[in-house]
Amino acid sequence: MTGGPIVVTGGAGFIGSNLVDRLAGAGRDVVVLDALARPGVERNLAWLKQRHPRRVRSTIADIRDRRAVDEALASADAVFHLAAQVAVTTSLVDPIEDFEINVGGAVNVLEAARRAEAPVIFASTNKVYGDLGDVGLALTDGAYRPTDPAMRRAGVAEDRPLDFHTPYGCSKGAADQYVLDYARSFDLPTCVLRMSCIYGPRQMGTEDQGWVAHFLIRALAGEPITLYGDGRQVRDVLFVDDAVDAYVAALDRIEAVKGQAFNLGGGAANAISLLTLIDHIERLIGRRVETRFEGWRPGDQRYYVSDAGKARALLGLGQPVAWRDGVARLADWLERERPAAAPRRVGAVS
CATH number, position 230: 3.40.50.720
pTM above 0.85, yes or no: yes
Q: Looking at residues 68-82, what average pLDDT do you find?
A: 98
User: Positive or negative CA dihedral for 314, 318, 323, 326?
Assistant: negative
What confidence score (pLDDT) does residue 63 get?
A: 98
Taken in order 178, 312, 126, 96, the sign of the CA dihedral is negative
Residue 39: which pLDDT band, with cuts at 50, 70 and 90?
confident
pLDDT (0 to 100) of residue 348: 33
Question: How many distinct structural domains can be found in the chain?
Answer: 1
Establish if 343 belongs to a structural domain: no
Nearest residue to 236 via CA among 153, 331, 128, 141: 153
Quick check: is 97 in a domain?
yes
117-146 pLDDT per residue, tens: 999 999 999 999 999 999 999 999 999 999
Question: In terms of Cα–Cα distance, which of 201, 212, 198, 220 is closest to 284?
Answer: 220
Active site residue 168: yes
Using CA atoms, how far apart are residues 213 and 200, in angstroms rounded to an integer? Answer: 7
Q: Tabulate helix, strand, coil % of the chain (nearest 5).
A: 45, 20, 35
Q: What pLDDT is stored for residue 297 in this prediction?
A: 86
CA–CA separation, 139 and 145 (whole Å): 6
Q: What is the pLDDT of residues 103-122, one digit of tens each?
A: 999 999 999 999 999 999 99
Q: What size, in residues, is the chain? A: 350
What pLDDT does 90 receive?
93
Q: How many CB atoms lie within 10 A of CB 9?
A: 31
The residue from 129, 168, 247, 303 that is catalytic is: 168
Asked whether residue 96 carries a pLDDT value surpassing 90, the answer given is: yes
Rounded Cα gap, residues 99 and 105, in angstroms: 9
pLDDT band at 342 (very low <50, low <70, confident <90, very high): very low
Res 343 pLDDT > 70:
no
Q: Which H or E run includes 84?
A: none
* 22 has pLDDT over 90: yes
Average pLDDT over residues 13-35: 98
**Confidence bin at 344 (pLDDT 50/70/90):** very low
Confidence band (pLDDT; 50, 70, 90) for 80? very high
What pLDDT, on the 0 to 100 scale, is given for residue 205?
Answer: 74
What is the reported pLDDT for 208? Answer: 65
Average pLDDT over residues 91-114: 98
At 262-274, the pLDDT tens digits run 999 999 999 999 9
Q: pLDDT at position 270, please?
A: 97
Question: Residue 284 is part of which domain span?
Answer: 6-337
**In the predicted model, what is the mean pLDDT of the chain?**
94
SS3 2: coil
| pLDDT tens string 208-222 | 678 999 999 999 999
pLDDT exceeds cutoff 60 at 345: no
- Is there a domain that residue 141 lies in? yes
The model's confidence at residue 350, banded by pLDDT at 50, 70 and 90, is very low
Q: How confident is the model at residue 252 (pLDDT cuts 50, 70, 90)?
A: very high
On whether residue 25 sits in a domain, the answer given is yes
State the DSSP code for 156.
B
Residue 246 covered by a domain: yes
Residue 339 pLDDT exceeds 80: no
35 falls within a domain? yes
Does 103 map to a domain?
yes
3-state secondary structure of 194: strand
pLDDT of residue 300: 85
Asked if residue 234 belongs to a domain, the reply is: yes
Neighbouring CB atoms inside 10 A of 121's CB total: 26
> pLDDT tens digits for 307-320?
999 999 999 999 99
Share of the chain above pLDDT 90, in %: 90
Q: What sign has the CA pseudo-torsion 128, 268, 203, 22?
A: negative
